[in-house]
Amino acid sequence: MEVYAECFINNEEIETHRSRISTAKLVRRICMVIWALLFIAMWVLPVFNPETLGFWAIVFNFLLYLGISLPFIALFLILGKYMTRKTTEYDYNLNGSNISITKVIGRKKRKKMFEAEFSNIENMGRMTSENYDRYAQNKNIKKVAAVCQYEEDDEIFYIYIKDNLGDVLLHIRPDEPFRTALKRAAPRMSVIDKSFFEQVKENTGDL
């Protein structure tokens, strides 16, 4: 029997840090304006005019321009990463024979970040289990996080995928219906961490 489910993971920091995110947006715009003005000035001011200055003087002035611009460029990039981290959410989808995860940035931009066939899933369980530690210590396994907050480890699950392109250790924080759907799909797997079932039983109460 095919199993279908969807779970959208809300990022609570979007609301709690709304003022900080708005300030970061404003500062990024200011950085862009300053950088653009400096770029225009580089071609307008006589300090870059080859007719009045020698070659090395122009090179020196250009390096000076870069030195002035780099802090604004760096701040622009740093704030961009901050905003992405604070506004990223995830959409989990269990569609028949595969599981996929879409990253949602700023509640506007969507980008599929992960997809795997259930036939490639080797194990699932809680992040607090001993099996997880064994996988996490393996440097050859790629870690993929689809979690907004890590405060409560008991609510975070791992999915270990063994694929020809490389092994993956996926972190997810599914809600109760999605956990139940995963449990229904789990019998297809030959091995599964018992902590996965314990967590589902604890949260559903009737499984």
pLDDT per residue over 78-103, tens digit each? Answer: 999 999 888 999 999 988 778 899 99
Q: Comparing 97 with 31, which gets the higher pLDDT? A: 31
> Is residue 202 over pLDDT 50?
no
The answer to the question of residue 200 being in a domain is: no
The answer to the question of residue 102 being in a domain is: no
Quote the pLDDT of residue 92: 95
The answer to the question of residue 20 being in a domain is: yes
The answer to the question of residue 190 being in a domain is: no
Quote the pLDDT of residue 55: 67
The answer to the question of residue 65 being in a domain is: yes
Token digits of residue 33: 């304006």
The answer to the question of residue 71 being in a domain is: yes
Q: Which residues pair with 101 in a beta bridge?
A: 92, 114
Quote the pLDDT of residue 199: 46
Highest mean pLDDT among 27-36, 54-63, 192-201: 27-36
Quote the pLDDT of residue 176: 86
Quote the pLDDT of residue 88: 93
> Is residue 186 over pLDDT 90?
no
> Is residue 61 over pLDDT 50?
yes
CB 165 within 8 A of CB 152: no
Q: How many domains does the chain have?
A: 1
Classify the C-alpha dihedral 149-150-156-158 as positive or negative: positive
Quote the pLDDT of residue 27: 95
Quote the pLDDT of residue 117: 86
* Owning domain of residue 57: 15-86
Q: How many helices (H) and strands (E) does the chain have?
A: 6, 8
Quote the pLDDT of residue 25: 93
Model confidence at 207, pLDDT cuts 50, 70, 90, reads very low
Q: Which of 190, 198, 157, 148 is nearest to 15 (CA)?
A: 148
Quote the pLDDT of residue 172: 93
The answer to the question of residue 120 being in a domain is: no
pLDDT in tens, 98-138: 889 999 998 889 999 999 888 888 888 888 888 888 888 88
23-32, 61-70, 158-167, 196-205 — which is least confidently predicted?
Answer: 196-205
Give me the mean pLDDT over the 188-207 stretch: 54
> Is residue 31 over pLDDT 50?
yes
The answer to the question of residue 36 being in a domain is: yes
What are the C-alpha distances in Å from 194 to residues 1, 9, 128, 167, 179? 22, 24, 12, 21, 14
Quote the pLDDT of residue 163: 79
